[in-house]
Chain A
Amino acid sequence: MKFNKYTKVLIGILVFYLVLYLVGPMVYSNQSFFETLIIFTILTLSFNIVYGFTGYLPFGYAAFFGLGAYGFGIAVMRGFDIETALAMGGALSLLFAVIFIPMLRLKGAYFAIANLAAFEGIYYIFSNQSLDWLTRGPYGISIPSVYNFGETYVASVVILVVITVLTLYIKTSNIGLAFKAIKEDQTTASLSGINVPLYRAMAWMISALFAGFSGGLFAWYLSFFYPESVFSINYSLFVIVFTIFGGAGTLMGPIIGTIVLYSAYDTIGITYPEYFTLIFGIAIILLVLFLPNGLMDLISKYTKKEMV
């Protein structure tokens, strides 16, 4: 049997996942590290679909993560089962993505600011005292009855595999080509017959859906959280640094970026979070100025091979 380059990459990544996420927890006993690592890999890969493929940079991306967590939490509190609750997490995030589709008509600074303002608006809605009956307002969501680490872990791995395969599929299909054309030049893309509004909305919605799933998984794993612990702009910083460090628009870049930088964060950062946002902040400046295409680009220049 002969495999093409992409199948080989996919098999490689899946074997890597198998080793890291099956053998890893047996060797290194800090299991919650692996769980959060999977959640952030899903979030970074979702972010990569919109930023890496189409070039839109949503600074308020953390909103989709928070919406996913709230969709999940609210559904559980209303007595839905876990599968439905996870779907609701994705759906709530998707719903807001659909509402904000018109934002994609904006460019540059306008898109960035509209996105940040939307993030703040959503946060103030979900943390609002008068929505106590639905969201528990500023008091946070508590769903300890559904806590089940094993199930969360399995569900997380499944969703990680799905987004990995999906990313590779998009990258190698005509859809990916259309996304790339949009990233380069929207006017030229539409002149060559690409339905620009349709494709960019598609990337936006897929991205939001999976960010919602990762938020839902995070809520399930935490089983207790405050609005500011899921609607935190720090998650936007995380995904942007992880993606740019690895290499935006590739499949392996965001995966490696997340593993390297999130491991560093998890080892030192949780005890000294301020030092870590300081380091990530400086890292992002240096990366953009000196290594704008990330690690994958560096490797492909060195090995003279195009990285996936």
Chain B
Amino acid sequence: MASILYYAILSGVLIGLYYSLMALGLNLVFGVTRIVNLSHGDFIMLSAYTSFWLFFYFHLSPLVGLVIVIPLFFLVGILTYFALVKKLLKSKDPEMTSFIVFFGLSFSIESAAAITFGNSYRSLPLNFLPISHINVFGYSMPFVNVFVAILAVIVILFTYVYLNRTKIGLKTRAIMSNKETAISFGINPGVIFAVSLGIGIAITAIAGVFSPYFFGAIYPSEGGIITIIAFSIIIIGSLGNPLATVIGGIVYGLIINVTGIYIPGWSYAITFIVLVTIILVRPNGILGGKIREV
């Protein structure tokens, strides 16, 4: 049966595009600010809940919900900059401090969510799309996978245009390649950091709205594992290079999908073992330069 392999590969690539979208915002934030956002997955969870409550109370479909979720989480990003990042960038070792601060933030968000929303699993309906399933190589594939993959490509292209064709994108890239030089040329890093966090978290929130279709359900403690997956993806691509995220996402999508079809019980264990191995063997990512020391 070769067609199941073809199906697994095609669907792995499509899911991989979703995973790229999920990790893209994280890589943008890291690339620009060098802040390690260990509560990334919790922003996904919060945006999924926002979309769920919008549906639950106002019967808004996730697509309409996006119109509210995107600006809302852009503001959350800006707020995160002023509340935490600004202060921690001044500390002695900002990268190390950011780990601990965002590790703490992650626990705070998860516990607050569990207290407010309860621990029950929530899900979103699929009927916002005209078709529910399509036939691929004789197997039925949820149409939402195709739809979100297309959306992911659009957001990735938007990020490309933002970084390469706009004035603020040019300044952002200047900060990414050399912060000190960029500052000496009159670029205000605070503004760039705040906007990048806003955009990064808004992109993350888009992925969050569709997360129930890929992670099965919405629940308060889902963030931790999503953060690990997202970080692994951007390390496989290349840490600090937002567009390389696509490679990491597709590699991850293929591993999880192919193992999920052939050895379902071991799919997660194997995926994490492969991720650790890739980070150990090529910590610089598939596209990156050399970073290992001593």
- In angstroms, Cα B100 to Cα A68, docked, is 25
B97 A110 Cβ-Cβ under 8 A: no
Residue on A with the closest CB to B105?
Answer: A285
Chain A binding surface SS class: helix
Of B30, B112, B232, the residue contacting A278 (CB under 8 A) is: B112
Instruction: Pick from B86-94, B128-136, B141-149, B152-160 the stretch touching chain A.
Output: B86-94
Residues in A neighbouring B232, C-beta threshold 8 A:
113, 117
* Min CB–CB distance A264 → chain B (angstroms): 15
A84 in contact (CB, < 8 A): no
Given the known interface contacts A57-B99, A112-B99, A281-B105, the answer about A106 and B115 at a Cβ–Cβ threshold of 8 Å is no
Give B88's nearest chain A residue, CB to CB: A289
Closest Cβ neighbor of B220 among chain A residues: A274
A110 x B115 contact (CB < 8 A):
no
State whether the Cβ of B60 lies closer than 8 Å to any Cβ in chain A.
Answer: no
Asked whether A281 lies within 8 Å of B100 as measured between CB atoms, the reply is no
Is A190's beta carbon under 8 Å from chain B?
A: yes
Size band of the B side of the interface?
35 or more
Q: How far is the CA of A76 from the CA of B254 in the complex (A)?
A: 40
Query: Is B36 an interface position by the 8 A CB rule?
Result: yes
Interface residues in B255-288 by Cβ distance below 8 A to A read: 265-266, 268-269, 272-273, 275-276, 279-280, 283
Interface centre among B109, B266, B291, B294 (most CB of A within 10 A): B294
Contact of A110 among B112, B227, B235, B272 (CB under 8 A): B235
What band does the interface of chain A fall in when counting residues whose beta carbon is under 8 Å from B?
Answer: 35 or more
Q: Which residues of A contact B268 (CB under 8 A)?
A: 120, 124
Q: Is A18 interfacial (CB 8 A cutoff)? A: no
With A117-B276, A274-B114, A277-B110 as given contacts, are A108 and B265 in contact (CB-CB < 8 Å)? no
**A130 and B84 alpha carbons, distance in the complex (Å):** 44
- Could you list 5 further interchain pairs (A-B, Cβ under 8 angstroms) beyond the known A109-B235, A281-B106? A59-B38, A109-B99, A112-B36, A117-B276, A117-B279
**Which B residues form the contact surface with A (CB < 8 A)?**
30, 36, 38, 84, 87-88, 91-92, 95-97, 99-101, 103-112, 114-115, 224-225, 227-228, 231-232, 235, 239, 265-266, 268-269, 272-273, 275-276, 279-280, 283, 291-294
